[in-house]
Amino acid sequence: MDVTEHTTPPNNVLLLEDNPDDRLSVRLHLELMGFVVYDTPSPIESREIFEQHDFSLVILHLGHAQLQSLEVCRWVRAASTVPIIMLTSRDEVVDEEMVMGAGADDYVSKPIDSKILTSRITQQLKRGQTQRAPRANILTWGTLQMDLAQHLFKIGENVVQLTNMEYQFLQLLMENPQRVFSRNQILEAIGVMKGIGTDHIVDSHASRIRTKIRQNGGPEVIAVIRSVGFRLADPLPNEVQELVSHA
C-alpha cells in the first residue's frame, strides 16, 4: 500500500470498537474534539477504511477478537507512522509488552475517563506531527545509523525494526549524546503520561532496545546514571561506562 504522509494531516480518526455503546461514546467524544470519525466493529473493515483515507490517529479496541485487533495494529504500523492508541477492558488480559510490541504508542483502560483520553490523544498527535516532519539528516553512533527522513534504523547494512516508542527513545539519546535524560523526560518524549507504574516503561524500552541491537551485532548503547537517568553510551572502548546490565 502506498501511504503518503502529509505535512498538515487530515483531522480523521479510525476507530475500531466492537462494543456499540463504547463505540458511540468514543465517537461522540472525538467529534466534540473536532475529529472526523470513521468507526467500525470489524477488524477486516478497519483495514479497508484505512486504505481509503488518510488518518492522523488510529484507536483500536482489543475486544473479543484480540488477535485480529493486534494484527490490524501491526499492519497499520508497518504501513504508517500514524499514532495508535489501544483501548482495553478490565476483564481483558492485557500484556503491555504485547500491546506495545504490536506497534501501539499508548493504551487507555476502560471505563474510559474523557480527560485521560483527551490528554493521551493530544500527546500522541504532538508526537505524530514531529514524526511527519523529520529533519532531513542522519544520526550516527559507531556502526548505528538512524535515518530520520526515512524513519529507518540500521546497524551497518542491516535494518533493525524498532517500535515507535523505541525509535523515539533512541533518537532522543542519539540527538543528544552527552546529555542525561530523566525517566520523566523520556516518558514525555515518547508520548506517555507520567503516572503510577510508568517508571518501569522506560526500563522496559531500554532493555528491548539493547536486546535488539545486541541480536543484530551491535554494541552496548544505553548508559544509566544512577539516581539520575539515561544517556547514550560512549562508543570509545577506553571510557569507563556504567551500563544498564539487565535485559
For residue 93, the cross-strand partners are none
* Residues 4-41: tens digit of each pLDDT: 444 445 789 999 999 999 999 999 999 999 999 999 99
**Distance of CA 84 to CAs 62, 107, 158, 174, Å?**
12, 8, 26, 24
All domains of the chain in start order, with CATH: 12-132 (3.40.50.2300), 138-232 (1.10.10.10)
pLDDT, one tens digit per residue, over 97-156 is 677 777 788 888 888 999 999 998 998 887 766 555 444 478 888 889 998 877 889 999
